Each structure stands twice: as structure tokens, then as C-alpha cells.
Amino acid sequence: MTDKNGFFDLSKTGFSRRTALKGLAAGAGLAVAPGFVRYSQAQSSAPIKIGFQSHRTGIGAAYGRWYEKTTAAAVKAINDAGGINGRPVEVIIEDDGTDPGRGAEVVGKFATQHKTDIVYGTLFSHVVIGSAPAAGEAKMPYFVVSEGHHVASTKLNRYVFQPGITDVKSQIQSMAPWIAANAGKKVTQIFPDFAFGYDHRDYLPPALKAQGAEVIAQIAIPPTESSFTKYFPQIPAETEVIYHVMVGPAVLTFVKELGEFYGSNRPQLFGFIDSLEATDINSPGLEFLDGSHFWEGSPRYAQPDDSAAQKAYRAAVGIDDNGAAVGDPKDVSTAAHMFGCWETLYVVKKAMEDAGYKGPEDRAKLVEATEALTEFAEGPEHPQGPKTFNGKIHQCFGIQNISKVEGGRLNVVHKTKIEDGLYEPEGDYTTQAL
């Protein structure tokens, strides 16, 4: 069962909304993993407790809902296979409201009230940045699924990791050669006016300059804005490419108004899929997007060359070939990001097993075991593709997808290589005390 917003309604199961998802979420009407009762009878096999900091409300709610669905599917798969170190995984959810202050409170609550083994799942960069100090103070391993460069910059602390999704700096570096060669040389950026957007603001200009292109204008828009037409006259007439990345509930309005402003005579468009996540590209008013290109982490639409692992992952999380919820074509997923939840949980599993993790007293060992990881092979645990991991900066590196809107769907036309996104570390978390 789900509530009116599509989140798991645990109140219908005898649990509060802040209690555990055991195996796959009981509130989703799906079975608890076999063996849970047997495990819980033995103190030495008590559940691994994961505090899930979810964006159930606020501008990140669409992501939060699909992050929960993906997490539930991954936890079910892990528990069905025997859990972690022979123990079941239990997920405890708290809503951070996509708010940095509330996020810090949630991390503290996981540490002191729920006494979870780790905290996991945060997406929006300003929430990660606001929550990270609380994780460091509590010596709580904090595994985020965020995308911003804030972790890899080494400006946070040793307890914060981003091992299941690549960061913006790497993504931009990977795609800049394709943009310069195929879209145009004079680029105007439109980005959200907060930390995630600032990564795009800061890292796109040098990446394009290295390819003989240039950013001629940068337009920052508040992420809570509901209308965008007043910003578009700031786009210089000589613009050849509009590079856009917007977030939040008004993304459909943004792309519609952009189309209304330009009509059929527009510059080339290159967007991060954030401008279209959880939004049907066949919505009325989006016809102008045909022929434009988007970055995708994991493709929304099933592709002809999808691996068996990718197909199995899509089936497990419940998305159809169009990237919508099975049985509900209007419920469009956040496919480009939510795979990071699945992959991060498997990184946590691997690190806990390597560390021989038994409980909170082993958190430092878990940090060191995570830092010792170096690569993740493509497969059931990492269906998006292969990755390398740099333990010094707590960041993974992987492939990126550039997709073209054609025929009412997104078709992948270019895949980058891992090495395209590698950069020199800016610091070393492993030098910090635990």
C-alpha cells in the first residue's frame, strides 16, 4: 500500500512512518524477506539498521519517492540472498523536507534515537552539505546518492561517501567534448541557484574551453521559481547552445516556457535530465524538445543493447520500457539518478563484509573498508555500468549517457568512458582522523 503521494504508507501495516522497512517495504504490500524472524531471534544476528534520509516533501519529493522504491527493491534483493554478514537489513525512514537544517536534525535523530548503523540516501546537494557536519560529529558513516562535487571536493569530512553515482565535475568533463563537437561553440547556461547548480556554473566553462568552446552567459534561477519567462531575454542572441539543468516541481513549466519563448527557431538544446526527471517527454507543449539532447546517468527508456543486469534491475524496481511505473504510465521515474540507491547499498554490503562489520563499534572499520575499495564490475549489483572508486576522495567514476529526443522517447547516442571523467584529487580524506 502507498499513500496519496506514492510513498510507502507504513501506518497501514502496524508500523509508524518512521519505523523499519524490513526486506521490501511492508507498506508496499510486498513480502518480508524469508528468514527475517529466524535472524532476529539471535542477538548476534540483529538487523543491520540503515537510516534513510528521504526527500519525502519539498522540492526533492519526486526523487525521494523513487529513491524509496529503488531502496526497497535493493533491500529485498539483499535480504533474499541472505542479508549482510548473515543479518537482515532494516531501513528506517525520516523525511528531511529537502531542507538542510532539517537534514542535520534527521542525521542526529538516526544517531541518537534510532541508533542506526549508517545513514544513507540523500540527494539534494544543499541538504548533503547541511547534514554532513552532523554525520561527522556523530562519527556516523553517511552514504549519499547526490551527484554534486561536494563530497569529491574533500570539503566535507571522512564519514561522507558518494560511491554509487558520479559527480557533476566528472559528468561535465566527460560530455564537454561531445557538446563542443556536435551542439555548438557558444553556450549559455541556465542552472539552479544553489550548490548543485554552482557545480555546473563552475565546471562547465573550463571543460568547454579545453574543447575550443566557450560559455558566453550564465543564468541562475532560484530552485523554487514557478515561472521562468522573465529570465529568457537574458540569453544572448549569438547563443548556439542552451545548456540547461533545472530541478524541482516546476521543471515541466520550465521546459514548456522555454519552448514557448523560442518557438521553432531555437538554439541547440543540451539538458541534464534533471530538467525532465519524473516528467513525461510526451506532455503537451514539449514537442519542441524533439531533436535535442540530454545527459542521463542510467537511461530512462529501455535500450536495444541493455544488459541482462539492467533488465533485471528495471524489473526489480518496477519500471517499464518507457521508464514509468509498471501499470501506471503517468508515474514517470527518476531513472537517471535512482540507480545510485541500488548500487550504493551494494557498496555498503561489500564494505561491511570486508570489514567484518558487527555493529556501531565497527564504524571506523567500515570507513576504512570503504576507502579500500577500488572498482565495481558491471553486473547485477552495478547495472548502470562499471565504475572505479577513489578512496581518497570518497567518489566513484563511471560512464555517462547522452540521449537524443526522437520519436517521443530518449535514445542513447553516445556513451562516455570512465577515463573521460577522471580528474586529479583535490584532497585526501584518509589523512583525517577517525
Confidence of residue 8 (pLDDT cuts 50, 70, 90): very low
DSSP state string for 312-352? HHHHHHTB-TTSEETTEEEEE--HHHHHHHHHHHHHHHHHH
Instruction: Write down the mean pLDDT value for the chain.
Output: 91
The reported pLDDT for the residue numbered 22 is 40
Per-residue pLDDT tens over the stretch 373-430: 999 999 999 999 999 999 999 999 999 999 999 999 999 999 999 999 999 999 999 9
124-169 residue pLDDT tens: 999 999 999 999 999 999 999 999 999 999 999 999 999 999 999 9
Q: Are 229 and 260 within 8 A, CB to CB?
A: yes
Does the pLDDT of residue 273 top 50, yes or no?
Answer: yes
Q: Are 146 and 121 in contact (CB under 8 A)?
A: no
- Is the per-residue pLDDT at 13 higher than 50? no
Put the strands of the sheet holding 20-22 in their side by side order: 20-22, 89-95, 48-54, 118-120, 142-143, 160-161
Average pLDDT, integer, range 17-44:
38
Higher pLDDT, 25 or 189: 189
What's CA 395's distance to the chain center, in Å? 13
Locate all alpha helices (DSSP H) within 42-155, ordered by sequence: 61-80, 100-109, 125-138
Q: Is the pTM of this model over 0.75?
A: yes
- % of the chain exceeding 90 in pLDDT: 88
Residue 132's identity, in one-letter code, is A
pLDDT of residue 223: 87
Position 48 pLDDT exceeds 50: yes
pLDDT for res 44: 61
Please, what sign has the CA dihedral across residues 313, 318, 322, 323? negative
**Is the Cβ–Cβ distance between 306 and 418 less than 8 Å?**
no
Task: Check: CB of residue 272 under 8 Å from CB of residue 166.
Answer: no
Give the model confidence (pLDDT) of 213-269 as tens digits: 999 999 999 988 999 999 999 999 999 999 999 998 899 999 999 999 999 899 999
What pLDDT score was predicted for residue 19? 41
